[in-house]
């Protein structure tokens, strides 16, 4: 039976990675096969904390998607982006820096895909006005989104999975990942100056065109903006204090979503607009497939092998995890990768009896998977989204164009994360 | 009534007509679209006004119409100015199958014309006899006829 389960799992994984069929169909098909094989029943799939669907992850995503749907209606993203372009007085590099910083911060607080969906149109508008090529700006933004999302528990789906599996708090992510993400962003901005240098053509006449844009027109309902802002402050306070308040981040997000919906007076189709049902179903299918591996004991056996191999060489394990995760996340979507590897890392960390050296493996996994997503056009969902937007607006970005820049950025950011892990968790621990 | 009875004279533009001139013709005639002919003067396709707007307005503004409000009059003029550097060929959709052309023969009935317009979502149909365009029937002229209680719809 174990062999059959592995074959089904690997088969579904190959279908997800190669996109021969839609990834949701592949994940659901894999989950259904596990049920037919008799490995998974309702108890295993829905109610077990070890093997079942991680409802904290699902409902955290649902809550954040509803929050984003409401925020989108306020026009705040467009307002901030145009305001930033005007503050930069039309200097292309300054425009890029401000947009990149806005994207990174928004990605840390919301999700990457929505952030780039909201920031890309206004970027195209600003680039049109400045008469500069938009592709470098879009590339810089999507890469900043993947870097910025690394900083928080809610910033990137792999982090949500890791947090739930490892019982890590919002503040744990903030304290352990945000410092290196700030450094990464500073270096990334320097990289943008070099990588996209040919895009920074300054035309004084065009600056006037940017200065004529009216950002105030972006906010149609100031009351909604104010109410949403207040609720969001409460949501982030809830995230920061969720450990002390003994309330899961998923409940904070759901409560925030509920309050936002109540104060927004929006119709269901509006406040559910950004809820990506295919993504949620994909997660459910993945959790059931991985749960089947746990149920038949494969993860435990693999965990024993890995634990024996690692012994107490945690820095070596962190290094392998960091670089291996970055490499694999560049090739396949980082969500299924992290969903599969997380139980293994859990076993590995458990042998360390709570030692910081062992717990740092979670940060190695998060950094590798999140930053590795920048390597290729298919490394992260946000990359695929930005390439689609660019193509529809007459600015195609080929796989290799993306990868040419993405590899440099992914390699540099992972390289920076490596000594960070060593210095913080091993050299002086 | 038959298509030839409702057909009105209509200019045909070709694929190399300046896009700005074509749009100008459409505006001056208050027309919902233009017939585009090929080298032999046969109908190639219909260029609906909505396609001209689709071409004028970047996709990112169509998706996020809020952004349109940020544009000044000067910026709007600049968007329209794009037409001066293009031809009709740049604006028309990909060549279609013959079945997808909004073309009827002179004997077509009002309901037949309506069916063709509805199927290919065209604001007008070209009426062709002996391989030549005899004129066009616009959606407003057709509706005017169809909704007239005294008219006969099928003959």
CB contact A246 to B (< 8 Å): no
pLDDT one-digit tens code per residue, A83-127: 998 898 888 999 999 999 999 999 999 888 888 988 999 999 999
Q: Which pLDDT belongs to residue B151? A: 63
CB contact A270 to B (< 8 Å): no
Q: What is the DSSP letter of B12?
A: E
Residue of B61, B66, B78 to mutate, testing the A interface (most A Cβ within 10 Å of its Cβ): B66
Q: Tokens for A355, please give them.
A: 């030692």
Pairing verdict, β B33-37 and B43-48: antiparallel
Residue of A212, A270, A390 to mutate, testing the B interface (most B Cβ within 10 Å of its Cβ): A212
Answer whether A145's CB lies under 8 Å from A116's CB.
Answer: yes
Q: How far apart are CA A23 and CA A175, in angstroms?
A: 34
What are the φ/ψ torsions at residue A183 (nearest 5 degrees)? -65, -45
pLDDT one-digit tens code per residue, A33-79: 999 999 999 998 999 888 888 898 899 889 988 998 898 888 888 89
Handedness of CA A73, A74, A77, A79 (dihedral sign): positive
Residue in B63, B64, B70 nearest the CB of A213 = B70
Q: Tell me which residues of chain A have a pLDDT lower than 50.
A: none
CB contact A221 to B (< 8 Å): no
Q: Which pLDDT belongs to residue B155? A: 47
CB contact A73 to B (< 8 Å): no
Q: What is the DSSP letter of B93?
A: P
The pLDDT profile of chain B, 155 residues, written as one tens digit per residue, is 889 899 888 878 888 999 999 999 888 888 888 888 887 777 788 888 888 888 888 888 888 888 888 888 888 888 888 888 889 888 886 655 556 788 899 999 999 999 999 998 888 898 988 878 888 899 999 999 999 877 655 54
Q: Tokens for A21, please give them.
A: 């069929």
Q: Which pLDDT belongs to residue B99? A: 64
Report the candidate in A344, A402, A413 with the shortest Cα–Cα distance to residue A376.
A402
What is the CA A12 to chain-centroid distance, rounded? 22
User: Apex CA A255: angle with CA A251 and CA A256, to 5°?
Assistant: 115
Tokens 């890995």 belong to residue? A306
Answer yes or no: do A122 and B67 touch at CB < 8 A: yes
Report the candidate in A384, A294, A300, A301 with the shortest Cα–Cα distance to residue A335.
A384
Q: Which pLDDT belongs to residue B95? A: 55
Q: Which pLDDT belongs to residue B41? A: 74
CB contact A125 to B (< 8 Å): yes
Q: Which pLDDT belongs to residue A410? A: 96
CB contact A75 to B (< 8 Å): yes
**Residues of A with Cβ-Cβ distance to B75 under 8 angstroms:** 129, 209, 212-213
Q: Which pLDDT belongs to residue A14? A: 86
Tokens 């008799």 belong to residue? A38
CA of B75: which chain A residue's CA is closest?
A209
Answer yes or no: do B70 and A121 touch at CB < 8 A: no
Q: Which pLDDT belongs to residue B31? A: 84
CB contact A134 to B (< 8 Å): no
Q: How far apart are CA A49 and CA B108, in angstroms?
A: 69
- What's the pTM? 0.82
B96 CA: distance to closest CA in chain A (Å): 21
């Amino acid at each position: 039976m174990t062999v059959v389960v592995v074959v089904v799992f690997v088969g579904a994984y190959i279908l997800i990675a190669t996109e021969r069929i839609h990834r949701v169909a592949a994940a659901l098909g894999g989950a259904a096969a596990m049920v037919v094989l008799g490995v998974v029943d309702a108890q295993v799939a829905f109610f077990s904390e070890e093997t079942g669907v991680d409802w904290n992850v699902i409902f955290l995503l649902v809550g954040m998607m509803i929050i984003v749907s409401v925020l989108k209606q306020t026009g705040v993203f467009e307002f901030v982006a145009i305001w930033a372009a005007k503050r930069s007085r039309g200097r292309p590099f300054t425009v890029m820096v401000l947009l990149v910083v806005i994207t990174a911060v928004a990605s840390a607080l919301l999700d990457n895909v929505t952030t780039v969906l909201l920031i890309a149109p206004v970027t195209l508008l600003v680039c049109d006005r400045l008469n500069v090529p938009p592709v470098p700006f879009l590339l810089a933004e999507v890469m900043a989104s993947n870097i910025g999302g690394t900083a928080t528990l809610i910033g990137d789906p792999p982090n949500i999975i890791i947090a739930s599996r490892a019982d890590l708090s919002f503040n744990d992510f903030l304290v352990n990942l945000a410092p290196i993400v700030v450094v990464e962003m500073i270096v990334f901005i320097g990289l943008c100056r070099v990588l996209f240098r040919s895009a920074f053509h300054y035309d004084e006449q065009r600056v006037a065109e940017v200065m004529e844009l009216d950002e105030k027109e972006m906010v149609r309902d100031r009351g909604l903006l104010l109410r949403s802002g207040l609720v969001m402050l409460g949501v982030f306070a809830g995230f920061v204090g969720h450990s002390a308040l003994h309330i899961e981040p998923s409940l904070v997000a759901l409560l925030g979503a509920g309050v936002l919906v109540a104060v927004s007076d929006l119709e269901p189709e509006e406040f559910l607009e950004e809820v990506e049902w295919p993504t949620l179903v994909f997660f459910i299918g993945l959790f059931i497939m991985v749960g089947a591996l746990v149920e038949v004991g494969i993860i435990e056996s693999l965990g024993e092998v890995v634990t024996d191999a690692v012994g107490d060489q945690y820095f070596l394990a962190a290094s392998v995890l960091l670089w291996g995760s970055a490499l694999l996340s560049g090739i396949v979507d980082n969500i299924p990768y992290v969903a599969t590897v997380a139980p293994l890392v859990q076993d590995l960390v458990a042998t360390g009896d709570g030692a910081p050296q062992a717990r740092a493996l979670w940060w190695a996994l998060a950094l590798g998977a999140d930053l590795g997503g920048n390597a290729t056009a298919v490394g992260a969902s946000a990359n695929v989204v930005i390439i689609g937007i660019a193509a529809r607006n007459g600015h195609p970005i080929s796989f290799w164009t993306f990868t040419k820049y993405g590899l440099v950025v992914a390699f540099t950011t992972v390289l920076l994360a490596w000594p960070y892990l060593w210095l913080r968790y091993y050299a002086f621990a | 009534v038959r298509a030839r009875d409702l057909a009105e004279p209509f200019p045909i533009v070709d694929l190399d007509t300046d896009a700005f001139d074509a749009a100008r013709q459409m505006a001056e005639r208050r027309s919902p679209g233009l017939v585009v002919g090929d080298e032999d003067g046969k109908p190639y396709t219909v260029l609906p006004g909505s396609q001209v707007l689709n071409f004028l307005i970047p996709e990112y503004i169509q998706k996020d119409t809020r952004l349109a409000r940020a544009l000044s009059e000067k910026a709007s003029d600049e968007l329209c100015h794009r037409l001066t550097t293009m031809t009709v060929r740049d604006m028309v959709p990909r060549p279609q199958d013959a079945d997808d052309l909004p073309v009827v023969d002179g004997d077509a009935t009002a309901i037949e014309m309506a069916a063709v317009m509805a199927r290919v979502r065209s604001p007008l149909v070209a009426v062709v006899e002996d391989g030549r365009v005899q004129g066009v029937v616009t959606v407003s002229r057709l509706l005017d006829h169809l909704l007239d209680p005294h008219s006969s719809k099928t003959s």
